[in-house]
Structure 1
Amino acid sequence: MSTSVRSVSAGAAVDEAMLLLSTHRITSLPVVDGGAGVDGRVVGILSEADVLRHVMSGDPRASLRPVTSRAPAARVVRELMTAEPYLTRPGADVREVADAMLAHGWKSVPVVDAGALVGVLSRSDVVRALSRGDEAIAADLAEAYASIGRASWQVRVDAGVAQVTGPVTAAEQAIARSSGLAVLGVRDVVCPDAVS
């Protein structure tokens, strides 16, 4: 997640937002109430696609066919933005966010905490999170198991596959699997001590 977030006020001029998008080479801007900046409440999102749809539809030079009617030019971001965008929060399940991004073709998603903008999660952030090393995954697994009273379980991770020594019963296996698969980067959980 990037915490050096560019955002724009809903009342800002469209030209100002276009300049922010192009200058900072970003594909979308969270739209906040009041002034721009982190800590504002997110009320929308303005993407390059929103801008292009509006600019190209109203510019007769953008079409080979004559434009018979022209939509009034949007003057402020509020008129172009997508209201009530998908938002995520710190600590959210990255897989769920990635699924939503893929399903809708989004390149980034605003991150909010208690309603305030605290960052933006991009597809490249998700890829980095999913490509964590086995040692980091094993440490997170051990912490997750300790938090549910299973600190005695031993964990080894190889290529994202966790081998958990300790769970014996079917119920313990189910706990090991469900808790383990919730850890980012875990592809599978195997319990070699399981009793059939």
Structure 2
Amino acid sequence: MGKIYYLMGKSSSGKDTIFRMIMRSKEVSLKTIVPYTTRPIRAGETEGKQYHFVNEEEFKSLKDSGKVIEDRAYNTCHGLWRYFMVDDGRIDLSKNDYIIIGVLESFLKCAEYYGRENTVPIFIDLDDGVRLERALKRERKQEHPKYEELCRRFLADSADFSEDKLREAGITERFDNTDLDECLANIIDYIKKH
């Protein structure tokens, strides 16, 4: 039976970078699960790669048809943005292992849907000061920077990934991303053991 490796961490902890490096690695063979969102596409993102970008009506249609595994809604400074996972027929745990980027709440729903024994958390940790510097640098590159949203996300992460919530979710393993190469090596070893 295949596994779903659930890559998560606070914003700007390095999830996307580590995800890309894992996918390029010859040491593990994982297929991607592409989540869905109603938020606007960012500079450098591609439809169907980081997310499937849909509108609110498309979300409601998927929800009404019973295909939404989990969904989260955030009242951002720019309106309601949804992030969600869809059972769109692309996941076959009898044939493949998968990787997805998400948050703690979505990990728990995914584990409930596919089974905790099939859903392996990978929590990336990084100093808050370094994360804030990275987030600001990334936001400055956007055509229309959304600094208020950056601040909202940064503060929300403290609650969303609190020590109590991590403990309740059974997240005991952490991968420190102070040194990217070391972090990546540790994660690949972890995947190979599971």
The TM-score bracket by the shorter chain reads under 0.3
TM-score, normalization by structure 1: 0.26
Q: Structure 1 or 2: larger helix share?
A: 2
- Rg larger for: 1
